[in-house]
Amino acid sequence: MARKKKDALSTDHQFTPYEQTETDKNIFICEKVKGFEIKHEFDIVNKAEYRLSGDDYYRKDVCMQPQQQESTEHYALILGASSGFGKAAALRLADAGFHIFGVHLDRQQNMPMVEELIHTLQDKGSKVTFFNINAANAEKRKEVVQKIRSQLSEDAKIKVMLHSLAFGTLKPFIGEGGPSVLSRANMIMTMDVMAHSMVYWTQELFGNHLLGYGSRIFAMTSHGSTNVLPYYGAVSAAKSALESHVRQLALELGSHGVTVNALKAGVTDTPALQKIPGHERMIEISKRKNPSGRLTTPDDVARAIVNLCNMDAQWINGDVISVDFGESVMDK
């Protein structure tokens, strides 16, 4: 079915079309707009025009991608997959049809619970590969990503990477000295694991061509990034850095159609929370503040992740998204 170019373009802008191709259903028109290349897709059957955005100032590598055939298989890489937010996300993503790569660090005594999780994911129809490693170890990181690359087809991508690593030092900055006060090594380790490692994993995935249009990167932050708590200084600094890394990666990966966001959950009763001195009081305050009268759960966050994977959420990028039912804005 043939259509004139001028009929297909419904805009007041002056475009310079330079290529038109057709399929059985759609017409594709590529054009130059003020030095940039834009691609339009026109659905002949439904008489609809699809574009990445109404804005005419997007680079070719972003605008061309939405028209490509999306893979029928989706893969997720979860850092911190064996408990808390990572475990909940693995379960919900498996329900949504994702195959799961999980990175965790567990002692032998906890492995039965990890094996149970793996079997549960497999029962949901997912292909599952878990790696029991230190996610902050550079060599192990390279090995894992290379193994992932070898298991996937050349064109396959990681649709979701979730950074949910909760391993940091809970000590005061100031004290009488000795092991009870935060050391330089404590600070470096906390920042490396809970913040910088997200950048390193992202670099490794990108370098192995495992990120592409529609890929999602999520980082678990907390209200500790802006609020102070006793003993939480190093972790608070790491969460602040993590949010900064999210913004920078959103800038640098935006031209590839990869989105990067931080998720700020409400107070959630996880193994990580239980290690914070005074967590009982945090739970009490959060229950009082939250309009629901309950704490946020890992499953609340996992559901949000699944919904943010939808391609309709492609324009959400570089943000810190609260998943707490309004807990953080309540003054009570």
Q: Give strand pairing partners of 266.
A: none
What are the domain boundaries of the chain? 13-67, 74-329
Distance of CA 143 to the CA centre of its chain: 21
**Once rounded to an integer, what is the mean pLDDT over residues 246-271?**
95
The pLDDT confidence band at residue 278, using thresholds 50, 70 and 90, is: confident
pLDDT, tens only, 9-42: 333 434 334 344 444 444 444 444 334 444 444 4
List all residues 6 or more positions away from 115 whose beta carbon is below 8 Å from its beta carbon. none
Tokens representing 239 are 């969460």
End-to-end CA distance of the chain: 63
Torsion angles phi and psi, residue 216, rounded to 5: -120, 135
Query: Strand 98-104 relative to strand 216-221: parallel, antiparallel, unpaired?
Result: unpaired
Judged by average pLDDT, the poorest of 44-58, 67-81, 96-110, 172-186 is 44-58
- What b/e sequence results for 2-38 when a residue is b if at least 16 CB atoms lie within 10 Å of its CB, and e otherwise? eeeeeebbeeeeebeeeebeeeeebbbbbbebeeebb
Compute CA distances 209 → 86, 96, 192, 204, 219, whole Å. 24, 24, 24, 9, 20
Whole-structure pTM value: 0.79
Query: Strand 26-33 relative to strand 16-22: parallel, antiparallel, unpaired?
Result: antiparallel
Q: What is the CATH number of domain 74-329?
A: 3.40.50.720
pLDDT score of 280 more than 70: yes
Task: For tokens 């609809």, name the residue.
Answer: 48
Report which secondary-structure segment, H or E, holds 45: none
pLDDT, tens only, 286-302: 888 899 999 999 999 99
